Chains A and B, each alone.
Chain A
Amino acid sequence: MASRKSLTPKSTPRRAAKKAPSRAKKPAATKAAPTSRPLVFPELHESTTSSGLKVVAAERGPLPMVSMRLVIRAGSSTDPAGKHGIADFAARLLRRGTRRMTAEAIDEAVEFVGASLGVGVGEDTLSVAITTPAEHFSQMLEVMGQLVMEPTFPESEVADARERALAQFANDLDEPSVIADRAMVRALWGDHPYGHDVSGSTKTVSTFTRDDAVRFHQERLGPKVAMLVVVGSVDPKKVAQAAEKSFAGWTGGPDAPMVIPALNRVVGAGRVVVVDKPDQTQSQVRLGGPGYRMGHEDYFPSTAMNVALGGGFTSRLMNEVRVNRGLTYSIGCWFDAMNAAGIFALSTFTKTESTREIIDVSLGEITKVRDSGIKPGELRDAQTYMSGLYPLRTETNESIAHSIADIRLNGLGDDWVVKFRDRLRAVTPKQVAAVARKYCFAEAPAVVVLGKADAVKKQLRGLGPITVVPASEYE
């Protein structure tokens, strides 16, 4: 049976997948025991095409499949004011026609051979990813080259894409967790380049024209801010040759990535936003404050602390909020570390009547960690837990390609994966205490509650100034 993505809940897991950071890969997991064998990470082969594109190839079996990933520093943080969402919008259109192929021809070329093509935009990058049976590797890389070098953005495709995007924004209003997340992004980042939804909003997308997409393509996509990663059962020499052929003559784009500023203070700190959705019997709750950029020295102590506080299934938050009180099905907190800055946030939900209780209990647990750190035994368990599971990140071609892209993009060093478990195990209780003081809401967090405003507003008194907004504010 092939894997099937179900639209509706066909099976119900005991526990929701813990909320994973939406962009950075999830901090790893590993085994502290000295018996644990070293990780196998494939050797990286580097080359540069004559057009200036960096290529990193890693040969890996046994499945006869290849994953390729072109990462371009043209994420949503490069969207100009008034045109939020243009990176995402243009990226979706890359496959809707090139100088040599129509949208139908691209679909046919990729989908016929059993390859899959995905185009995605995050805050920092635009990525084009193709996973293909190995025998079609060169042909698929050639398609990838066309998509980024010569998209035509047909007028009718632009109009259709705009209409679909606007319908999607409207339908998103019926997804409580999506709207709560969107409200939280705004409450945390405000006008910062990371402060808008990757796909923009009804207001900005409704202004998009073909010219906007063409301009984005010319100004933002180019070999000097891009990197191609190829992992799978293919000879690295063949990768270099195929990349040369597929990306020959690629010009355009900036000489260097745009510089994104750090985040000093979350704009909604100490404030409460209530997103009104009167039909709900449950409240979605988000709390958040500042974190750090990817590659920051606080990464390992914070990662260890987070497992104990709100990462694993035995975390303090899971224990107090779910196990002891039955207040929710899912709760978790995490650090979201991006290239220039990051945040620390908590996400959960509960029935309308217990909205305040879940916030108070959660804040109580976070405060305890801020004041006293975590116990040495908790730290040890967290280290072992993450060390044991970390090798899972090296299981697939896709996950290795992801790691390589992350490492290079954020300057983590090529030994990042291999040394990860040692660095995690070296974390001390003192280091954890220090990061806890810093990140566990030393300043009051931004609070977002989506639910029945009438019923929750009075519960939230004392948490800070309350603003009630309709859900449509986030369309």
Chain B
Amino acid sequence: MRKASPKSAPARAADPSLESLFDVHEATLPNGLQVRLLPNHLAPVVSLYTFFNVGSRNERPGITGISHLFEHMMFNGAKKYGPKMFDKTLEANGGSSNAYTSHDMTVYYDDFASDALETVLDLESDRMRSLRISQDMLTSEREVVKEERRVRMDNDIGGMMDEELGTLVYKAHAYRWPVIGWMADIEAISREDCQTYFRTYYAPNNAMLYIAGDIDPKKTLALVRRYYGDIPRGPAPLPVINAEPEQRGERRSTVRHPAQSPAVMIGYRGPSAKDEDTLALDVAQYVLTKGEGSRLTRSLVYEQKLAVGVGLDWSWRIDPGTILFFLELKPDSDPQKAEAALYAELEKLARDGITERELQKALNNLRSDHLRELGTNNGRAHAMGNYEALLGDWRHVLTLPSAYAAITSEKVKAAAAKYLIPERRSVVTLLPAPSEA
């Protein structure tokens, strides 16, 4: 085990008030499992995160949604702890667990009383070593996931628009399909598919472990070695190819659905998380929609009264992601007018940039939000894992505020001029259709 060394930190300076919170110990087991340990004795609780480098990005047509379906299967029994025993054992020891799948990764976490640490390591290592995928469990879990798809996508306007937008923005990349997958694929995924998936992506060499909270790092690492040390490496996963062709013009689609109001969702093709422009776009996001005084909220909601709400989501991804705008409109709104007002603001941003005060305001808020995220063990463990998965090093937790501080109005302007242009744009308009009574 080595204590985290600032020498290997990214080029930026670490935020001093953060550095004191991150006394991280790190290690790599011979089987490739990477371990990060962060003690914090404020409360007798611990959060453990396991990040697997697999998400819908690693799928192909025919098995879309398998990463997510498989995420469910990880709770359904292994060699030592059989069906239903994972949750039962964990809860009976004062813990709880959940997981999520994104385009890029699959993430499991446990929050628990600190004296349950060894039990949790036993449970987690058991399923990484020896998951058992039974046909019965797969059949039943498939139904659960179908209900999840119905509630998130088929019966949800935001979900159906997002799904449509994905197919417009991406033509070749796996970001084209929703993380939850197409219904027909969820139906068709087989036990063999799951087994292959497990062997390939859930091996220790494709995983990272983060433990934050009321722990002794030395003893904890000894336990991790004892429970995970004998899990064999898996084959190296195939690299994901980004074959996405250049976009040559605006793409549009209309969704008709019984709804009260029209709505508009707009996606611009952005850079990847590692790209410097990502930080400039974060600043742009804050200037445009963070807070009541942000540009789009003030203009579209309060001054022009064209929208009930304006949302902007710039989510970091491994491969180039989507800068996504959402306009919630009123029943009698003209979606084209609202769209035009949005574009006018984006053009202004690309033409004039932002003021020094707006820049400082965005930096202040990025820092506050960053600190808030780090207020819990769960938040700290997750943040470390997320930055490591997307950027390659957990130390970005420490250096992010100073990385943002290097952003200038010029950089924001340049990023807006580069990305927020019609040629990179895809638009989904929801138009109310009469209800099929």
Interface residues of A, Cβ cutoff 8 Å to B: 1-16, 29-33, 35-37, 39-40, 62-65, 95, 103-104, 107-108, 110-116, 131-133, 160, 163-164, 167-168, 170-171, 173-174, 176, 277-282, 312-314, 319, 322-330, 349-351, 380-381, 384-385, 387-389, 391-392, 394-397
Contact = CB atoms under 8 A, between A and B. Distances in A.
A397 B84 CA distance: 36
Interface stretch (B157-165, B217-225, B231-239, B247-255): B157-165
Given A323-B140, A388-B93, A160 B308 contact: no
Contacts of A319: 84
A8 B162 CA distance: 7
Contacts of A323: 84, 140
B154 interface: yes
A114 B365 contact: yes
Contacts of A389: 45, 94-96, 111-113
B150 interface: yes
B41 to A, nearest CB: 9
Contacts of B116: 31, 388
A328 B144 contact: yes
A280 B435 contact: no
Most interface-central of A103, A324, A395 (chain B CB within 10 A): A395
Interface of B: 17, 20-21, 42-45, 68, 71-72, 75, 84, 87-88, 91-103, 111-116, 139-148, 150-155, 157-159, 161-162, 178-180, 214, 257-261, 265, 282, 285-286, 290-294, 298, 301-302, 305, 308, 311, 313-316, 324, 326, 328-331, 357, 360-361, 364-378, 383, 386-387, 400, 435-437
B437 to A, nearest CB: 5
B308 A171 contact: yes
Contacts of B261: 167, 170-171, 174
Given A13-B100, A62-B21, A33 B115 contact: yes
Given A2-B282, A40-B42, A389-B96, A350 B17 contact: no
B96 A385 contact: yes
Given A63-B371, A111-B292, A326-B140, A8 B161 contact: yes
User: Which of A12, A31, A173 has the largest number of chain B CB atoms within 10 A?
Assistant: A12
A106 to B, nearest CB: 8
B165 to A, nearest CB: 8
Given A2-B369, A12-B179, A278-B435, A392 B99 contact: no
B326 A7 contact: yes
A397 B308 contact: no
Contacts of A33: 94, 113, 115
Contacts of B84: 314, 319, 323
Given A11-B101, A31-B115, A392-B111, A167 B330 contact: yes
B101 A12 contact: yes
Contacts of A62: 20-21
A249 B68 CA distance: 58
A174 B160 CA distance: 12
Contact of B92 (A1, A6, A381): A381
B42 A395 contact: yes
Most B-side CB within 10 Å, residue of A168, A327, A388, A395: A388
B368 A13 contact: no
Contacts of B179: 9-12
A170 B368 contact: no
Given A36-B113, A326-B140, A384-B94, A112 B361 contact: yes
Contacts of A280: 155
A282 B115 contact: no
Contact of A6 (B45, B259, B302, B315): B315
B45 A164 contact: no
Given A2-B365, A351-B146, 15 more contacts: A1-B370, A3-B373, A9-B159, A40-B43, A63-B371, A170-B260, A171-B308, A279-B257, A319-B84, A322-B144, A325-B143, A385-B96, A388-B95, A391-B44, A395-B45
Given A7-B313, A279-B435, A396 B375 contact: yes
Q: Which 10 A-B pairs have the closest CB atoms?
A: A388-B94, A326-B143, A107-B293, A31-B113, A388-B113, A114-B364, A114-B368, A31-B94, A2-B369, A8-B162
B49 to A, nearest CB: 14
A15 B72 CA distance: 8
Contact of B96 (A131, A171, A312, A387): A312
B144 A115 contact: no
A425 B282 CA distance: 47
A31 B119 CA distance: 14
A155 to B, nearest CB: 15
Contacts of B383: 1
A176 B258 CA distance: 12
B293 to A, nearest CB: 3
Contacts of A173: 260
